[in-house]
């Protein structure tokens, strides 16, 4: 419950883990955008922060997603600065395509000051 995986929740979820501490990345600012105008312009859909579990519930309203190209931008520099940590990547952008509007999509991010990993969950 409350983790964004129940049927009435957002069709898009994310979960960010801080691999340096082994804990969820709480308070990480992120922005969800969609590519519009035949690939010429990104439209911001939602700006938010990860919760205490490293998740960001409600990225999109419940229901089908619009097919297209999306981007999750994570402010990793801000996250690491808050922790007094130098880092190499000032932000991480994960760009992905939605072709089946009825599927659910989970985009995890494993994060350290010097690397990151993502995959379709």
CA pair distance 58, 63, nearest whole angstrom: 11
Res 1: pLDDT: 34
Indicate the number of domains in the chain. Answer: 1
Q: Which domain holds residue 26?
A: 12-118
What CATH number is associated with residue 69? 2.60.40.180
User: Which residues does the annotation place in the binding site for substrate?
Assistant: 15, 55, 119
SS (H, E, C) the chain: CCCCCCCCCCCEEEEEEECCCCEECCCCEEEEEEEECCCCEEEEEEEEECCCCCECCCCCCCCCCCCEEEEEEECHHHHHHHCCCCCCCCCEEEEEEECCCCCCEEEEEEEECCEEEECCC
Q: Does residue 7 form part of some domain?
A: no
Res 121: pLDDT: 84
User: Which residues does the annotation place in the binding site?
Assistant: 15, 55, 119
Q: Does residue 6 form part of some domain?
A: no
pLDDT of the chain, 121 residues: tens digit per residue: 334 444 458 889 999 999 999 999 999 999 999 999 877 899 999 999 999 999 998 888 887 788 899 999 999 999 999 999 999 999 999 999 988 888 889 999 999 999 999 999 8
Res 61: pLDDT: 83
């Amino acid at each position: 419950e409350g983790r964004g995986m129940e049927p009435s929740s957002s069709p898009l979820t994310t979960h960010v883990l801080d691999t340096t501490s082994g804990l969820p990345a709480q308070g990480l600012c992120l922005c969800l955008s969609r590519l519009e105008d035949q690939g010429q312009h990104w439209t911001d859909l939602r700006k938010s922060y990860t919760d205490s579990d490293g998740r960001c519930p409600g990225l999109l309203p419940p229901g089908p997603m619009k097919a297209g190209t999306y981007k999750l931008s994570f402010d990793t520099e801000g996250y690491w600065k808050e922790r007094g940590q130098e880092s190499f990547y000032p932000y991480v952008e994960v760009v992905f395509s939605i072709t089946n509007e009825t599927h659910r999509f989970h985009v995890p991010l494993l994060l350290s000051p010097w690397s990151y990993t993502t995959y379709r969950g």
